[in-house]
């Protein structure tokens, strides 16, 4: 749903200009230093990028899902590491509070998330619980007016920078499966919370992940999100439904960038006396990429519109994430191929995207998990 096209156009063109003039020129610097310059982070805050989807009442822009994916298409034309820094405040690092938080939790955290003063991280995955999120082991045992959290969370995006962590832990260890899982908001600096070393990754330099370790970490009972025990797993799944649409939108933006770069190269690079874009085998790669990009974009917009209408979008979010991330991988591969030898060299940048986008088929649910979600929902629908 687009509330006001004119206002949205102003935002989209401001983002496009920021991407072109401020982010793209420092992509190499960020990849080499593994750090986004402070000045760029400050400009992200001024533009409101940390609060795109946080309600206006709490200082965000309150974008609808459709508006947000259109913004993401623009943002994701730059290296995905930039988006990673503020994406968790619009997605998995804040949505548990937006969707299920108490009034007090919303008032305490959402304004600071919206301004970028703090970053939110989502701590679901554990060393032994990845795709099988319902088997997580971290515990949060009630003790008087508090809960005591123990356990380790792994691959947590933005954990080194985060000011708050949404932590899924078992409040009822006797209850196996998802029913015993609750969600907590835990503040950085709480005694008993520590961070592991920043992990070295294949790509997305400038975006950081690490372990988050809880050792007798005591939080007040008011840290329980929604003040309901046992609701954490379903809440995490709802948060991931939105997150998956956003990852799919990111795949569309990055795919567009890679295809633009590949087309430009194919028009400029000459072999056998003419631009390689005039050869049909190159054209086939360009055309397949364009068609897949169009399909992915259409799926993302449709899933976003359905979510805005209040529909249950578990299936559509999984379809969009599955298709867009797999297509993005194929488009990256073709872009490197079109660049030829230059595609393998760091200075042309396309190999960096090739490594960066590999993550999209893995995080916020692997492609295999998306297939499983889609098929399960089909089977359940048939049974009903
Ligand atoms: N919205 C609301 N409720 C949902 C839901 C959703 N999107 N998805 C599942 N649920 C509910 C189910 O309806 C079920 O409730 P009922 O028993 O009342 O019907 C409950 O949650 C458990 O669901 P399910 O039986 O499907 O759970 P499983 O443990 O079998 O599997 C998968 C769930 C595999 C889909 C889930 O663990 C998953 O998404 N794993 C991937 C995790 C992930 O993406 N990790 C990335 C890390 S975060 S960056």
Q: Once rounded to an integer, what is the mean pLDDT over residues 192-203?
A: 98
Provide the token pair at 340.
Answer: 């030829």
Q: Which of 94, 126, 133, 362 has the most ligand 1 atoms within 8 A of CB, as the residue to mutate?
A: 133
Closest ligand 1 atom to Cα of 238: 1
Active site residues: 364
Cβ–ligand 1 contact at 348 (below 6 Å): no
Q: Is 64 exposed, middle or buried (0-12, 13-18, 19+ CB in 10 A)?
A: middle
Cβ–ligand 1 contact at 188 (below 6 Å): no
Atom 37 (ligand 1) nearest CA: 133
| pLDDT (0 to 100) of residue 69 | 98
Cβ–ligand 1 contact at 124 (below 6 Å): yes
Q: Which of 94, 211, 237, 368 has the most ligand 1 atoms within 8 A of CB, as the residue to mutate?
A: 237
Which whole-number Å values give the CA distances from 88 to 36, 53, 165, in the listed order?
A: 16, 11, 11
pTM: 0.97
| pLDDT (0 to 100) of residue 139 | 97
38: CB partners within 8 A, 6+ apart: none
Cα of 319 to ligand 1 centre, how many Å?
A: 15
Closest ligand 1 atom to Cα of 178: 22
Q: Rounded to an integer, what distance in angstroms lies between the CA atom of residue 360 and that of residue 207?
A: 14
Pick the CATH number of 120-231 from 1.20.1530.20, 2.60.120.620, 3.30.565.10, 2.40.110.10: 2.40.110.10
| For residue 174, pLDDT beyond 90 | no
Tens digits of per-residue pLDDT, 67-103? 999 999 999 999 999 999 999 999 999 999 999 999 9
Domains 5-115 and 234-383 alike in fold: no
Top-tier CATH class for 5-115: mainly alpha
Tens digits of per-residue pLDDT, 126-166? 999 999 999 999 999 999 999 999 999 999 999 999 999 99
Closest CA to 322 of 301, 299, 339: 299
Contact 346, 297 (CB under 8 A): no
| pLDDT (0 to 100) of residue 259 | 98
Q: Once rounded to an integer, what is the mean pLDDT over residues 210-216?
A: 98
Q: Rounded to an integer, what distance in angstroms lies between the CA atom of residue 187 and that of residue 112?
A: 13
When pLDDT is cut at 50, 70 and 90, the band that residue 226 belongs to is: confident
Residue with tokens 């940048």: 349
- How is the chain split into domains, by residue range? 5-115, 120-231, 234-383
Tens digits of per-residue pLDDT, 1-59? 999 999 999 999 999 999 999 999 999 999 999 999 999 999 999 999 999 999 999 99
Cα of 132 to ligand 1 centre, how many Å?
A: 9
Atom 8 (ligand 1) nearest CA: 237
Q: Find out if CATH 3.90.1300.10 is the number for domain 234-383.
A: no
């Amino acid at each position: 749903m687009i509330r006001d096209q004119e206002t949205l156009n102003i935002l989209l063109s401001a983002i496009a200009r920021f991407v072109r003039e401020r982010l793209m020129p420092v992509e190499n610097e960020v990849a080499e230093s593994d750090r986004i310059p402070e000045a760029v982070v400050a400009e992200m805050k001024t533009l409101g990028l940390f609060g795109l989807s946080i309600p206006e009442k709490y200082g965000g822009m309150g974008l609808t899902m459709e508006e947000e994916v259109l913004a993401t298409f623009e943002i994701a034309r730059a290296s995905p590491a930039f988006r990673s820094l503020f994406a968790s405040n619009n997605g998995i690092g804040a949505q548990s509070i937006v969707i299920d938080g108490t009034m007090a939790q919303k008032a305490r955290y959402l304004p600071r998330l919206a301004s970028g003063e703090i970053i939110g991280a989502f701590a679901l995955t554990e060393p032994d619980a990845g795709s099988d999120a319902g088997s997580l082991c971290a515990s949060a045992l009630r003790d008087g007016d508090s809960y005591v959290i123990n356990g380790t969370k792994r691959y947590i995006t933005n954990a080194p920078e985060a000011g708050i962590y949404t932590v899924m832990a078992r409040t009822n260890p006797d209850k196996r499966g998802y029913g015993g899982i609750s969600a907590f908001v835990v503040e950085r600096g709480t005694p008993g919370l520590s961070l592991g070393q920043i992990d070295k990754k294949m790509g997305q330099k400038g975006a950081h992940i690490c372990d988050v370790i809880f050792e007798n970490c005591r939080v007040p009972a008011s840290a329980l999100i929604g003040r309901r025990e046992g609701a954490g797993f379903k809440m995490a799944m709802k948060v991931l439904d939105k997150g998956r649409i956003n990852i799919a939108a990111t795949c569309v933006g990055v795919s567009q960038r890679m295809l633009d770069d590949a087309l430009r190269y194919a028009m400029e690079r000459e072999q056998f006396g003419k631009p390689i874009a005039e050869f049909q085998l190159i054209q086939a790669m360009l055309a397949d990429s364009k068609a897949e990009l169009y399909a992915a974009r259409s799926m993302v917009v449709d899933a976003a519109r359905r979510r805005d209408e209040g529909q249950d979008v578990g299936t559509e979010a999984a379809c969009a994430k599955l298709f867009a991330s797999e297509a993005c991988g194929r488009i990256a591969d073709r872009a490197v191929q079109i660049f030829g030898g230059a595609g393998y060299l760091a200075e042309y940048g396309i190999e960096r995207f090739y490594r960066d986008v590999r993550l999209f088929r893995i995080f916020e649910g692997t492609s295999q998990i998306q297939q499983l979600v889609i098929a399960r929902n089909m089977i359940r629908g048939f049974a009903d």
